[in-house]
Amino acid sequence: MTGPKVVLGVAGGIAAYKAVEVCRRLVDAGVHVVPVLTAGATRFVGAVTFSALASEPVQTSLWDEASPIPHTKLGQSADLVVVAPATADVMARYAAGLADDLLTATLLATRAPVLLCPAMHTEMWEHASVQENVATLARRGVQFVAPESGRLAGGDSGEGRMAEPATIVARILAMLEPSRHDMTGLDVVVSAGGTREPLDPVRFLTNRSSGKQGHALAEVAARRGATVTLVTASALALSPDVGARVERVQVETAADMEGAMVRAAASADIVVMAAAVADFRPKAVAERKLSKEDGLPELVLEPTPDILAGLAAQRRPGQVIVGFAAETNDVLERGARKLARKGVDYLVVNDVSAPGSGFDHDTNAVTILGADGSSVDVPLTSKNAVAEAVFDRVIVHQREKRSST
């Protein structure tokens, strides 16, 4: 056995024919592929085909293998488990913790990353139960290659078509990189959390931001080798494996965050403004706790500083600036206007009213808008995966700029 080991699960759907090409491309790339087919899959593709192309013969049963516990052996030895196609049935059983065949038992028995590539008719993909299962699995850290729109079985057309093999293989190879250090030598500043603007010594104005996305960005950048400063208004703890490598600056108000970000950005290569900064603050803060006995207070608000626009206006040459925008309506239109108004390189926009997306969730779905006119959709996935996608785009941007100069 050479190369990283991938368990390639194939479920019973017409898109199973594409899994043959996924298998071939992975083996050509030096990956050790162990195919696991469900009973339904063998109705669409032959086990002999996969056995001939893969690194090991096909496995199909919990009971017919030499090992008495094949799922445990597969799960423990895998560097990555991929299911392509991932049918509605397989995802439902996986989400429910059922393990009635070799594939679902392996999914439950592994601690390796899991990548699902859904494929089904549009009506099935859009069904509430399927979307809830996707959200549940994403919350647990499962990653997805989103289905595409196009021709479906039976001559229909719509969303639900499994992504092309080249797209899936590219994602697999990226996940198999044992430790990406493509950000080594870069100085990254990330802001996180919702600021608090005091009304009196007890009360404050704030928003629903938890800081989870900003903290995920800081952790991903650190794992990829960057020197990271996290300016946060959140009390969340960083993961133990990277916490000691991230310089944490704790702030509370928009004014605090502005000062900390300006100082940290002065020497930064990449600035990511993921914090949900309050747009307004009380013009005057009461010196003592306000009481009903005092009557209804007059609350006069004033705008807080536009930190993102200010950072963009005073950026260093070559510095990349990324902003975030949480919206509830006309998301892309409002995002495009903000991108131009703020003067940043990228604006990551998301609909915080969508299920599983935005504030206080472990998942997110975003669109990365570029000043160069680019647009990258990141369907609902973990906030770590969103962070990876953001930095993937930033690194490509930096490489393109270097090659053009």
pLDDT of 353 reads: 87
User: Where do runs of H (alpha helix) occur along 212-371?
Assistant: 212-223, 240-243, 254-265, 307-313, 331-342
Whether 100 has a pLDDT exceeding 80, the answer reads yes
Whether 402 has a pLDDT exceeding 80, the answer reads no
Residue 138 CB: number of other CB atoms within 10 A?
A: 24
Residue 386 or residue 243, greater confidence: 386
Mean pLDDT of 4-31: 92
For residue 176, the surrounding DSSP H or E stretch is helix 165-176
- Work out the pLDDT band at 200, boundaries 50, 70, 90: very high
- Work out the pLDDT band at 68, boundaries 50, 70, 90: low
Whether 178 has a pLDDT exceeding 70, the answer reads no
Residue 242 or residue 91, greater confidence: 91
Whether 93 has a pLDDT exceeding 90, the answer reads yes
Task: Round the average pLDDT of the chain to a whole number and report it.
Answer: 90
pLDDT of 65 reads: 61
Whether 403 has a pLDDT exceeding 50, the answer reads yes
pLDDT of 72 reads: 84
Q: What share of the chain is helix, strand, coil (3-state, %, to 5)?
A: 35, 25, 40
Q: Give pLDDT tens digits for 246-263.
A: 999 999 999 999 999 999
pLDDT of 69 reads: 72
Residue 400 or residue 52, greater confidence: 52
Q: Which residues are catalytic?
A: 207
Superfamily of domain 187-404: CoaB-like (3.40.50.10300)
- Do 5-176 and 187-404 fold alike per CATH? yes
% residues pLDDT > 70 (the chain): 96
Q: Look up the CATH number of domain 5-176.
A: 3.40.50.1950
Determine how β-strand 270-273 pairs with β-strand 280-282: unpaired
Q: Give pLDDT tens digits for 212-240.
A: 999 999 998 998 889 999 999 999 998 77
Alpha-carbon distances, residue 330 vs 276, 334, 335, 348 (angstroms): 19, 6, 8, 14
Whether 85 has a pLDDT exceeding 90, the answer reads yes
Q: Where does 316-392 show beta strands of DSSP type E?
A: 320-327, 346-351, 363-370, 375-382
Whether 194 has a pLDDT exceeding 50, the answer reads yes
Mean pLDDT of 267-286: 94
Of 56-60, 88-92, 148-152, the one with minimum mean pLDDT is 148-152
pLDDT of 1 reads: 43
Of 7-11, 63-67, 140-144, 362-366, the one with minimum mean pLDDT is 63-67
Whether 335 has a pLDDT exceeding 60, the answer reads yes
- Distance, in Å, from the CA atom of 95 to the CA atom of 99, rounded to the nearest integer, reads 10
pTM: 0.62
pLDDT of 2 reads: 47
Mean pLDDT of 150-157: 76
% residues pLDDT > 90 (the chain): 65
Mean pLDDT of 188-209: 94
Residue 357 or residue 205, greater confidence: 205
Alpha-carbon distances, residue 68 vs 38, 63, 64, 74 (angstroms): 18, 7, 9, 12
Question: What ranges do the domains of the chain cover?
Answer: 5-176, 187-404
